[in-house]
Chain A
Amino acid sequence: MASIASTAARGPRKRASGGLLSRFRERETWWAYGFISPWAFGFLALTLGPMVASLYFSFTDYGIEQIAGFKATEYVGAANYRQLMDDPKVATALLNTLTYTIMMVPATMAVALGLAMVLLRIGRASGFFRTVFYLPQMTPPVAVAILLLLMFNGSTGIVNEGLGLLHIPGPFWTSDPTWIKPGLVIMSVWSVGGTMVIYLAALRAVPRQLYEAAAMDGAKPWRRFRNVTLPMISPALFFTFIILTIAGITNFTEAFTAYFGPGQAGAEAPEAALMYTIYLFRQAFEFGAPGGMGFASAMAWLLFVIIMIVTLVNVVVSRRFVFYQGETK
């Protein structure tokens, strides 16, 4: 405690007198940079570098010839971006992706919150069920995709068998274009464990006194949930909303493995399962079209811009709905 206090006291004085370089006199600063160096290297070399490269390629005719070095890469202006507008599959893939995201994000959040609240109340058994609910998160996405095909088979799948017991005729989840995305959403919701654990931690941090005060004021459970729980866990809800939205928009593995991967060869791949990243991947690596990598790079940058806009809108909107403890408005 004394150390923190003394560091805090020293900090502003040193910055004021010595500027940026003087910070490196701090032992903690050196350690901090030492510890973040693996991430910094990874980010610079494996993320930022390729991002900058792909921005450049998105304005070029980069394709097989250029990759192999047979031809010089030529600047093509905004041609790849214009092609984004001309290619109807881009719009189809984007619509599929957004539809999937709009269904998946609230469904995942609702189920995760429901499970977290149940876990909060079951006392001793909580640890066991927390593990059980978290297990699907540990399942590789490829295995999840194969499970999807087995469980959601319209003829003999366990999901429709279960619905049959309730006298509900199950749909053809894997072949009816209307039901393909809901099937993928349900499989995503199945892997809800990570979000649930975040909510559980947030729920545990809500001061009990607030519930007691609300109860004394006559607030019923729903009112307590709406006026105490939700505001208090809103930072966690906001965080997961952003993360899940990005995960939804960049969804690839499950849909690709189930409908486009090796063994499927895309032969019976319905357009309803064509996610944006899948179309991007196929343009870059499978179709072998001239300038394919340049076009795929433009697709990637459009996706990046969409994610940034969605995130910025969320951040702006969140100022009205997210409550941070200790924050004064």
Chain B
Amino acid sequence: MSIRWKRGALLLAVATLGTVLAASFASAQPTERASMAGGKTLNIYGFGPGDDVANGRAEIAAKALGGASVDNPRGSFNDQAFLTRLASGDVPDVVYMSRDRIGTYAARGALLPLASCLRSESIDRKQYRAAAIAEVTYKGQLYALPEFTNQITIIVNNDVAKAAGVSLADISTTKWARLRQANKKMLKIENGKVTRIGFDPKIPEFFPLWVKWFGADLVSKDGLKAQLNTKQAVAALEFTYSLIRDHGGWDRFKAFRDTFDFFGTRNPVVANQMGAWPFESFYYNVLADNSPNADITAKYFTNRKGGPITLFAGSGWAIPRGSKDPDLACKWMKAMTAVNTWVSVAKDRLNLRRRQGRAFTGIYTANTNADRKVFEDVYQASGKKQFDDAVKLLVQAPRYGFSLPSSPASQQLRQAYIDAINRVLAGQQTPRVALDQAQREAQDAIDKAK
């Protein structure tokens, strides 16, 4: 074989390898260049793309970094991507993730406790809502600063309720028998198909709320003992399942619900597809944006004694172990959750809504002081009574909030009860059998993780 041919083939092979290697290393280059450009760079993961409130706060927080630049590749938190970054040593300085994940990562040692951060930046943890703090505390150590808080209230579609002859007092979670009657009156089945949902209990998502009706929780305070098959949990599942069974079963119920334009202009309130349901507070914003004339009433989810309760959900900021600049990360977290930051973006949001001719339904955070200041100093009634009344309710709601205590196996605990409820909804198991199985699965996961 001639030298010329050998060289040709060798060049082809080398060029191929070179191309593959160049492509492999290309992704690392922008970060390197950013660091070399001068000064410190805060590497953020899991944040954005956000709305005006998120982006506005990010701008304020960036200014609090003393000249350091911010590298924030947009994209939501993803476990797979986060683990890949940990494995490759490309550890972000600060991460934004759902609060129910904090316990799992804290238990695995992947997050730094924030005690020194609180000290160095003089952050008062008392300003944050206790329930939100509990969600990001594991074995007595705080691992994240809670940010937004979505509390759950009941949204009543007044048109549907009136047409069905159901009063607002009937749509109360305190009296289950009365609620079931209201559900039956409001739902509509035509030609074997559900054409209107009466009361959607929103299980499995809000199952902890229904169990809290008894004052019980799905996991012990220290997060180490699953409590999924208590008699309260079984009773809660039996009742909520009965609300769905009234519609002819889960199949019909879900098939109809899947057709909703939930976040659009033909949402289930406007289209009269739902009588009432518990939902997160951000949905009032959606309604105010898309259907400002929707006739709704916001109500508390109440326990068996009539007292309001609400389940907290939200995200938080945490510092991963291996962060190159935990101090800078701490400054960022403090600024993102500070009272002044929230107030500033709330003002901008109010002005934006005014320009759009829409109602401002408030900003609900895990920071008690921020919520108070926003409501007292920024919020102005829109003149749309249904949303103004909702805001009054939402402002008070967080004081009745709770969240599931953090657990070293929080994802698996959640998955265990979700699977159990899905088996019940699919008619495969009774609530008792399903929750017994869930209890075994969850406790097994906790025992392995603690």
> Residue B33 at the A interface, CB < 8 A?
no
Give the shortest distance, in Å, between B396 (CB) and chain A (any CB): 28
Counting chain A CB atoms within 10 Å of each CB, the highest count among B108, B110, B259, B322 belongs to B108
CB distance from B294 to the nearest CB of A (A): 22
Q: Is the CB of A31 within 8 A of B9?
A: yes
**CB-CB nearest in chain B for A64:** B108
Q: Closest approach, in angstroms, between the C-beta of A288 and any C-beta of chain B? A: 4
Interface residues of A in 280-298 (CB under 8 A from B): 282, 284-291
Task: Using CB atoms, name the residue of chain B closest to A262.
Answer: B76
The answer to whether A35 has its CB under 8 Å from any CB of chain B is yes
Chain B residues 1 to 58 lying within 8 A of chain A, measured CB to CB, are 1-2, 5-6, 8-10, 12-13, 16-17, 20
- Distance of A282 Cα from B258 Cα, bound (Å): 24
| Any A CB within 8 A of the CB of B109 | yes
- Measured in the bound complex, the distance between the Cα atoms of B165 and A3 in whole Å is 92
Chain B interface residue number, banded: 35 or more
Residues on B with C-beta less than 8 A from A43 are: none
Decide yes or no: A34 and B108 within 8 Å by CB, A68-B322, A155-B252, A290-B448 being known contacts.
no
B109 lies within 8 A of A70 (CB): yes
Chain B residues with Cβ below 8 Å from A25 are 1
Q: How far is the CB of B100 from chain A (nearest CB, A)?
A: 11
A269 within 8 A of B: yes
* Total A-B Cβ pairs within 8 A: 148
- Give complex CA distance A271, B428 in Å: 10
Residues on B with beta carbons closer than 8 Å to the beta carbon of A35: 12
Pick from A30, A31, A285, A290: contact of B83, CB under 8 Å: A285
Q: Counting CB contacts under 8 A, is B251 at the interface?
A: yes
A interface footprint on B186-211 (CB within 8 Å = 1, 0 otherwise): 00000011100000000011000000
Residue B86 is within 8 A (CB to CB) of chain A in the complex: yes
List residues of chain A with CB within 8 A of the CB of B101: 288
Q: Contact: B256 with A155, CB < 8 Å?
A: yes
Please give me the residue from chain B that is nearest to A272 by CB atom.
B426
Most buried by A among B79, B109, B193, B322: B79
| Additional A-B contact list (6), CB under 8 Å, known A65-B109, A156-B259 | A33-B13, A38-B20, A45-B20, A64-B108, A67-B86, A289-B449
Pick 18 A–B contacts, CB within 8 A, sort by A: A30-B1, A31-B8, A34-B12, A34-B13, A37-B16, A37-B17, A41-B20, A42-B20, A45-B20, A64-B83, A64-B110, A68-B108, A68-B110, A155-B259, A156-B259, A262-B76, A289-B448, A290-B448
Give 5 nearest A-B pairs by CB, closest first: A154-B255, A172-B251, A34-B9, A30-B9, A288-B104
Interface residues of B (CB under 8 A from A): 1-2, 5-6, 8-10, 12-13, 16-17, 20, 76, 79-80, 83, 86-87, 89, 91, 101, 104-105, 108-110, 192-194, 204-205, 250-252, 254-256, 258-259, 321-322, 409, 411-412, 415, 418-419, 422-423, 426, 428, 445, 448-449
